[in-house]
Structure 1
Amino acid sequence: ELPPRYLRTPEAARFLGLSSRTLEKHRTYGTGPRYSKLGGRVVYRLEDLQAWFDLGAKASTSDPGVGKVLPAKRHAAISPAFAGQPRR
């Protein structure tokens, strides 16, 4: 069976290894993966979850990586690359 195209917050959080509350905080502070609203429900595309997860990938402790996943808290200035979506 193919995986669903969209995941709701609890399933997306499990996919990422986070609690639902942490993923909600990331969404609130703009530090999490891209999301959409379908019928009033927040949903995440698997591709967006994987891309956000990959931002924090490193080969070693000295590897700067390709990006940075910020903690789920308010930040003074967030780069669009950290937020996972373009700023307007």
Structure 2
Amino acid sequence: MTAENTSPNRMLRTSEAANFTGLSASTLTKLRLAGDGPVYIKLGKAVVYDPTDLSAWLHSKRRRSTTAA
């Protein structure tokens, strides 16, 4: 992704957020439904993600060991 595509002012649709995180769009949808995914914004029927929230969520998933919760 280029810097212009990840501008803090530009929200990402689910497919773009999937590309940003390396997950599939369906995985993001399942995580959203379970309440385990990144923070999102609902605009009518559209779901968008702030790249800053995606980065924070990814950062929160860092682990040093497979036994860490």
Query: Normalising TM by the smaller chain, what interval?
Result: 0.7 to 0.9
Gaps of at least 5 residues in structure 2 are: none
User: Higher helix share goes to which structure?
Assistant: 2
Gaps of at least 5 residues in structure 1 are: 69-88
Give runs of ≥4 in structure 1 deviating > 2 Å.
60-64
Q: Structure 2 length as normaliser, TM-score?
A: 0.78
* Distance in structure 1 (CA, Å) of the matches to 2:67 and 2:35: 25
Let me know the Cα RMSD of the aligned residues.
2.0
Q: Structure 1 length as normaliser, TM-score?
A: 0.63
- Corresponding pairs, count: 64
Give the superposition deviation at 1:30.
Answer: 0.2
Q: Which has the higher contact order (CA 8 A, sep 6+)?
A: 2
Name which one, 1 or 2, has greater alpha-carbon Rg: 1
Identity %: 45
